[in-house]
Amino acid sequence: MNELFNMNGYEFYVWGSVVCFVCVVLLDMVSLKTKKKQAERKIKAMHKRAKR
């Protein structure tokens, strides 16, 4: 297992970069879902208020 992740001394830099890439992309995916939920919640709340 260790051999598989071996980068001949550059483990920190190479895997650090990959982790950074994956994390930022995941963060973007979470944020776009929240954006959508926020928008829907806002519209529903406004709709309710308008009906009253």
Partner 1 sequence: MNKLIRLYHQIGSPPSFYQISGYFLKPLLSLAIVLFVYGLIDGLFFAPEDYQQKDAYRIMFVHVPSAWMSMFIYALMGLAALITFVWRIKVAEAVMMASAPIGAAFTVITLITGMLWGKPMWGTYWDWDARMTSELILLFLYIGVMAMYSAFDDDPRKAARLTALVVIIGLVNLPVIHYSVYWWSSIHQGSSVKIIGTSGIKDWDMLRPLLVMALATKFYYGYSMLHRARSYLLKTEYKKQWVHLILGLHETKEKTNE
User: What minimum distance in Å lies between the beta carbon of 2 and partner 1?
Assistant: 14
The verdict on 51 binding partner 1 (CB under 8 A) reads: yes
The Cα–Cα gap between 15 and 10 comes to 8
Query: CB under 8 Å to 7, separation ≥6 — which residues?
Result: 13, 14, 15
Helix (H) or strand (E) holding 18: helix 11-51
- Binding mask of the shown chain, residues 1 to 40, with x at each position contacting partner 1 by CB under 8 A: ---x--xxxx-xxx-xxx-xx--xx-xxx-xx--xx-xxx
Rounded to whole angstroms, the maximal C-alpha distance in the chain is 67
Residues of this chain that bind partner 1 (CB under 8 A): 4, 7-10, 12-14, 16-18, 20-21, 24-25, 27-29, 31-32, 35-36, 38-40, 42-44, 46-47, 51
